[in-house]
Chain A
């Protein structure tokens, strides 16, 4: 069963609706003790990464998150929280994955926010993409991105530059797009996450 870290940053209605459509069970995590009730976890998030980090810290859940050994999936800003720093408000984040979250450079002649369906290329061995066609489109909406890093990037997308669409370190995964809004491909990804050993 999936535990959703509840910290007041973001629209979790769409996420729980997607899990309901897939018949995946979930519950909310409000206290450190709640983590024991679940075997995998989602950290959602929209809005400002710095504000989201403050809210997460106020819940007191950060130490328990750092100690998790079961699969964790950060979505959008929830993914960025896994990194060590965001240029958004020059914020210090959890640092679970040693990467930086940066602002897209408008000099690349791209529109910001990066909004819409972009192709995602999963790297070999990426278990979250089982059953998903290579180069499938996923729905993105964000102004900040996580740099490409061959140690932690397990799927990449391109928007002016190559960036991390999906990152992983051990049991921690993060997706920059919104699987709950990404049609069948997104639903398959959530299903794959729910079945990770």
Chain B
């Protein structure tokens, strides 16, 4: 295939500023998500994800301003997620230049929201993000950034999300997230083998070899990571070079 595997830096944003510590050379303002996004696009990132954790009533306005700034200055696609609960939220983000929106808890609480979004904007616009944790031999969906366990089995939920019109799944393994010990290749392969829509893997990236392993073992479509990119522990040009040397199709 000639379709490139995608490398996707993820930026956590609060009140229009990046939250997680960023230690990145050549940044004039490490707290400015647009500046960071621009640097990533220059380095060869294929796509960006912004997760907004703003809780104030000014939320929608700050989010729309952010999306417009990103769309104005960045020439690669991006997804925006966090607190999108109604069609009107999605509509204004689309018209401000967002390529996709990501929904997580809102979809679990109201699965029909996936159908509504897909009908209104097309399934390519709808990413369903899922936080999963392995408990007593099974994988369960967790909500609110992983704080709340549900009784929903992850693989069932992925199937339902796909059937309802999700255009892509972003799967974060909470067991691997933050460990820097590699992606959850077992689960990711199992999910990817039966999935008819693209899968973005998240959680566990610690070094460049983890990405090679991920793509070789699971064949997922994209890999997302945050801190290893923000702290300059992995440089995207180096990562893509290594992937290419390992016969993984990438955009260089």
Cβ-neighbour of B196 out of A111, A182, A187 (below 8 A): A111
Please provide the chain B residues from 1 to 23 with a CB less than 8 Å away from any CB of chain A in the complex. Answer: 1-4, 6
Chain A neighbourhood of B71, CB < 8 A: 13-14, 17
From A115, A119, A183, B124 is in contact (CB under 8 Å) with A115
Q: Is the interface of A mostly helix, strand, loop or mixed?
A: mixed
Beta-carbon contacts under 8 Å, B68-108 to A: 68, 71-73, 75-77, 94-99
Closest Cβ neighbor of B251 among chain A residues: A137
User: Hey, which chain A residues are within 8 Å of B115, CB to CB?
Assistant: none
Instruction: Answer yes or no: B248 CB below 8 A from chain A CBs.
Output: no
Distance in angstroms from A9 CB to nearest chain B CB is: 11
Assuming the A-B contacts A141-B99, A157-B2, A159-B3, are A17 and B72 also in contact, with contact meaning beta carbons closer than 8 angstroms in the complex? yes
Task: Count B-side interface residues using an 8 Å CB cutoff.
Answer: 34
Please tell me if the beta carbons of A117 and B95 are within 8 angstroms of each other in the complex: no
Q: Are A187 and B75 in contact (CB under 8 A)?
A: yes
- CB of B46 within 8 A of chain A? yes
Closest chain B residue to A178, Cβ basis: B77
Known: A48-B122, A143-B124, A181-B76. A115 touches B221 (CB 8 A): yes
Interface residues on A, range: 35 or more
Chain A nearest CB from B39 CB (Å) reads 14
Question: How many A-B pairs with Cβ below 8 Å?
Answer: 93
Chain A contacts with B in 87-115, Cβ cutoff 8 A = 106, 111-115
Assembly CA distance A14 to B99 (angstroms): 9
**Alpha-carbon gap, A113 to B76, bound state (A):** 18
CB pair A184–B3 under 8 Å, yes or no, is no
Contacting B122 at CB < 8 Å: which of A18, A46, A157, A181?
Answer: A46
Q: A47-B122, A158-B1 are in contact. Are A183 and B75 (CB under 8 A)?
A: yes
Contact assessment for A47 and B121 in the assembled complex, using a CB-CB cutoff below 8 Å: yes
Q: Which residues of A contact B196 (CB under 8 A)?
A: 106, 111-112
Contacts A/B (CB < 8 Å), 5 sampled: A13-B68, A18-B75, A115-B168, A158-B2, A186-B75
Residues of B within 8 A of A (CB): 1-4, 6, 41, 46-47, 68, 71-73, 75-77, 94-99, 121-124, 167-168, 195-198, 221-222, 251
Ranked nearest first, the 3 interchain pairs of A and B with the lowest CB-CB distance are A119-B2, A137-B251, A13-B97
